[in-house]
Amino acid sequence: MQEDFQEDKARALVRYSDKVAHYAQAGLEGARNTQRAYQADIRHYYEWCQLQGLTAFPVDAEVLAVYVTHLADECKWATIQRRMAALRKWHELKNEEFPARSRQVQAVLEGIRRVKGIRQKQAPAFSLDEFRPLIQSFDPENVIELRDKVVLLLGFTGAFRRSELVALNIEDLSFSRQGLIITLTQSKTNQYGEIEQKAFFYHPDPLLCPIRTLEEWLALRPAQGPLLVRFRKGKTHGEVRLTEERLSDKSVDNLVKHYLGTEYSAHSLRASFVTAAKLNGADDMEVMQQTKHRTSAMIQRYTRTDDIRKFNAGKKLGL
């Protein structure tokens, strides 16, 4: 009986081996955006090793310490962390030991933290006094400006990450008399396809209304496919035509800088939503319904109230 059990077990292992390998690989590799970022970081490390005449893989502790030292001269702390994570992932996939915890590497990392600091530069938030007149100024008859208005207004009122925004399809939108629901099937914090939804509401000013603006844009679009798409130049001078090519997340970043200023980024749309909502009395749970953050700590991190003169209890002492 024991022999029969072992034979059945062996057959089951063979039968499911390919599926086990497939799911294990997917679990180790992570999301596609993460894979692309890691591939770029690994390529950066490999090319650096080639220039130095060093063996790249598997990573040696001494080589890693030198590489991290090199990064400290040109990169932010967040970039160093990401490149370390990419190299760690490579070793996990190859079932190799990653020497990040060696004393030499840890000493170098601690030294970088002490000398250069680890504070990240955050995307600034814009004020509603800046944003409102900009949105009202767009020409609805200009198809490019209409598309750009959708990007900015939807990105702000939906607190979207740029990757989420460009991934939207027309089929994700559900209109009703109460407003609009947009369904996301995947995001940075939702890697397993759980259904997430964001709610949008009618604004009394049609020029500031995300729903009416979307309806104007959808009148130019087919019934399905990417929501936000690129334009191409037409045959005649000044002519542009809509394509079915999905807008890139880099284009969203460039668009924000073009209209709001180079100090801002696509992430400013999300940070500005959180800041405006909090300053207007929204509690953390209400904000998290739209941002899909998991903790209140992240909401506090996103709230840009670091102007010590504007946001200071010293003005409320009652003296």
When pLDDT is cut at 50, 70 and 90, the band that residue 304 belongs to is low
pLDDT the model gives residue 43: 87
Question: Which of 50-54, 107-111, 119-123, 224-228 has the lowest average pLDDT?
Answer: 119-123
When pLDDT is cut at 50, 70 and 90, the band that residue 251 belongs to is very high
When pLDDT is cut at 50, 70 and 90, the band that residue 37 belongs to is confident
pLDDT the model gives residue 188: 56
* Stretch 223-229: mean pLDDT: 90
> Does residue 309 carry a pLDDT above 80?
no
pLDDT, one tens digit per residue, over 123-168 is: 788 888 889 999 999 998 899 999 999 999 999 999 898 888 999 9
pLDDT the model gives residue 312: 47
pLDDT the model gives residue 113: 83
When pLDDT is cut at 50, 70 and 90, the band that residue 317 belongs to is very low
SS3 labels along the chain: CHHHHHHHHHHHHHHHHHHHHHHHHHHHHCCHHHHHHHHHHHHHHHHHHHHHCCCCCCCCHHHHHHHHHHHHCCCCHHHHHHHHHHHHHHHHHCCCCCHHHCHHHHHHHHHHHHHHCCCCCCCCCCCHHHHHHHHHHCCCCCHHHHHHHHHHHHHHHCCCCHHHHHHCEHHHEEEECCEEEEEECCECCECCCCCEEEEECCCCCHHHCHHHHHHHHHCCCCCCCECCEEEEECCCCCCEEEEEEECCHHHHHHHHHHHHCCCCCCHHHHHHHHHHHHHCCCCHHHHHHHHCCCCHHHHHHHCCCCCCCCCCHHHHCCC
pTM summary value: 0.64
pLDDT, one tens digit per residue, over 6-24 is: 555 455 545 554 554 444 4
Give the C-alpha separation, 198 to 83, whole Å. Answer: 33
Name the residue ranges covered by the structural domains of the chain. 11-116, 128-302
**Does 1.10.150.130 match the CATH number of domain 11-116?**
yes
* Stretch 228-235: mean pLDDT: 84
Give the C-alpha separation, 160 to 156, whole Å. Answer: 7
Active site residues: 161, 188, 267, 270, 293, 302
- In one-letter notation, the amino acid at residue 68 is V
What's CA 287's distance to the chain center, in Å? 18
Give the C-alpha separation, 56 to 296, whole Å. Answer: 41
Architecture of domain 128-302: Orthogonal Bundle (1.10)
> Does residue 85 carry a pLDDT above 50?
yes
